[in-house]
Each structure stands twice: as structure tokens, then as C-alpha cells.
Amino acid sequence: MTPGRSKRAASKPAAMKRASTRHAASQRAAKKAGGGRPAGARSAVSRQTRSRPGTPSRRGRATPENAAEIFRRLRAAYPDAHTALNHTNAYQLLVATILSAQCTDARVNVVTPSLFARYPDPATLAAADRGELEQLIKSTGFFRNKAKSLIGMARAVVANHNGAIPQTMEELVHLPGVGRKTANVVLGNAFGRNDGIVVDTHVTRLSQRLGLTRQGDPVKIEQDLMRLFPPEQWTLLAHLFIEHGRRICDARLPKCGECVLVDLCPSARVP
């Protein structure tokens, strides 16, 4: 045996010993991080704990079957779900919806009684003094922009629609301050038309958590939901999601232990 070969042979056991030491250290670190289990085993146990027997294959699947079950359960849980904005006609609902941007429905409902008493229809709102209007709606936030939108909307309704709130998506979104979400609110709740789905922060959050969409843009989320749910459910679906989002599926601290959708939700956190 040559001296060089003998030196390599002698170094092999030492290299194996170092590798073994590194592996043992890695295993100890993994166990410590996982509470006594390797990291991979920990995540597997966590997933198993969150799943209910017989349902994990349905968890987070964006299918019409899952969508139908989600709708059925939420409708049973919230049989009285409806828009929280107080109104008696399409004009009042349109005004209230414009005011609700970046504001709670409860605050809007505090403001609108005096607002509607002062401006009972589009014609009176179209002739409103902007400074006076701003003071009436100041507590809803962004009151200058909202006052501008309200007066512009009212003037367009008077000039182009004979003072009547239009009943089509195309006409509504051409009004100042009115986007697709606002138009969906008015069409669905004032006119009983299911032309689309209202996508607000609650609907966005629940749709993503339930695995019904991977999108972040409201228009794309709406399109995904419209493919999963039949048109006759679109208006009520938004109310159900909003109600569930307010009561159970909170943005920061969801109450997964109380959720009727826990076995269908890939984001569920159940100990």
C-alpha cells in the first residue's frame, strides 16, 4: 500500500465521524423546534389535527359542490342576512353605499337620517351647497371627496336619467363616485338584480381563506365566485360572507373553533 493511499484510508473514519456528529446535531435541533418531533412530522400532525374524518379531500377545493355546501351552511347560520345600510329606496341606498367607503355601515346609518331629510331626492342633492353637505357627512371620513361624488352623481342622475336611479350596470358605473361594487349593491338590493357579486374586504378574505380564489383583485375574485355560484345566489352570497366575516372569520383572530365551515377551510386553525 502506497503512503498516499494509506493516508486517505486513515482519514475516512474521521470524515464519517464528523458527518455523523453533524447529523445528530441537526436531529436535535429539529426535535427542539418541533417539540420533540422532526419539523416535517410536526406539520403533518398539525394538518391531521385540523381535519375532520371523511372531509379532508374536500378542504379548499374550488368546485361547485363545495360552493353549494358553503352557501347551504352559511344560509342556515345566518337566515336573516341582508345589507346593513338603512334605506327605503334606490336613491338612499346609492347615497349610503357611496358614504360607506372606508367607513362602517353603523356610522353611515347615524349620518343618513339627517342627510335624507335635507336632501330627499337626487334633485335636491344636485342643488346642494357643497360646504353644507360636507358638514353633514364629515364623520364618515374622506368627506370632501364623498361630497363631490354625491353632488356629481345626483346631477348626472337628474340630467341623464330624469331623476331616477338607473337600473343597469353600464349606466350606474358611469355615475361619479360609483364603481362596480357600489353598482352591485344597488342592483342586487334595490332592484333585485343579480348582475354580479359585491366584493368587499370580508368577501375577499373569506374567498381566499376558503380556497375559492387565489386572486387579490376584486374584479378577478368576483369572476371566480361567479363561476362557482349560480346567479340567483350572488346578492345573498355577499351578505352571508360579510356576516360570517364580522361574527366568526375575523381578519386577525378568526374563531375557527366556532366556524360551520371549518372542515371545508384550508386555512382553519383548530388545536
* Other C-beta atoms lying within 10 Å of the C-beta of residue 11: 10
Whole-angstrom CA distances from 63 to 211, 225, 229 are 10, 10, 9
Q: Could you give the CA distance from residue 271 to residue 233 in angstroms, rounded to a whole number?
A: 33
Whether residue 123 has pLDDT greater than 50: yes
Place of cell 330624469: 162
The catalytic site residues sit at 181, 200
pLDDT band for position 25 (cuts 50, 70, 90): low
Determine what percent of the chain is predicted with pLDDT higher than 70: 78
pLDDT bucket at 37, cuts 50 / 70 / 90: very low
Q: Which helix (H) or strand (E) holds 271?
A: none
Q: What angle do CA 212, 250, 79 make, to 5 degrees?
A: 75
Q: Is the pTM of this model over 0.75?
A: yes
* The three-state (H, E, C) secondary structure of 168-192, written as one string: CHHHHCCCCCCCHHHHHHHHHHHCC
Residues 219-234: what's their mean pLDDT?
98
Judge whether 91 and 122 are in contact, CB under 8 Å.
yes
**pLDDT tens digit string along 173-216?**
999 999 999 999 999 999 999 999 999 999 999 999 999 999 99
- Asked if residue 4 has pLDDT above 80, the reply is no
Comparing 168 with 33, which gets the higher pLDDT?
Answer: 168
Which pLDDT does position 52 carry in this prediction? 42
Q: 90-190: what fold? A: Endonuclease III; domain 1 (1.10.340)
Domain boundaries, the chain: 13-50, 56-80+197-264, 90-190
Model confidence at 59, in pLDDT bands (50, 70, 90)? confident
Q: What is the mean pLDDT of residues 252-267?
A: 96
Task: Measure the CA–CA gap between 269 and 271, rounded to whole angstroms.
Answer: 7
Closest CA to 199 of 216, 176, 177: 216
Q: Which CATH architecture has domain 56-80+197-264?
A: Orthogonal Bundle (1.10)
Phi, psi of 151 (to 5 degrees): -65, -40
Confidence class of residue 28 from pLDDT cuts 50, 70 and 90?
Answer: low
- Strands (E) in the chain, as ranges, are none
Contact 162/203 with Cβ under 8 angstroms? no
Q: How many CA atoms lie within 13 A of 95 on its CB side?
A: 32
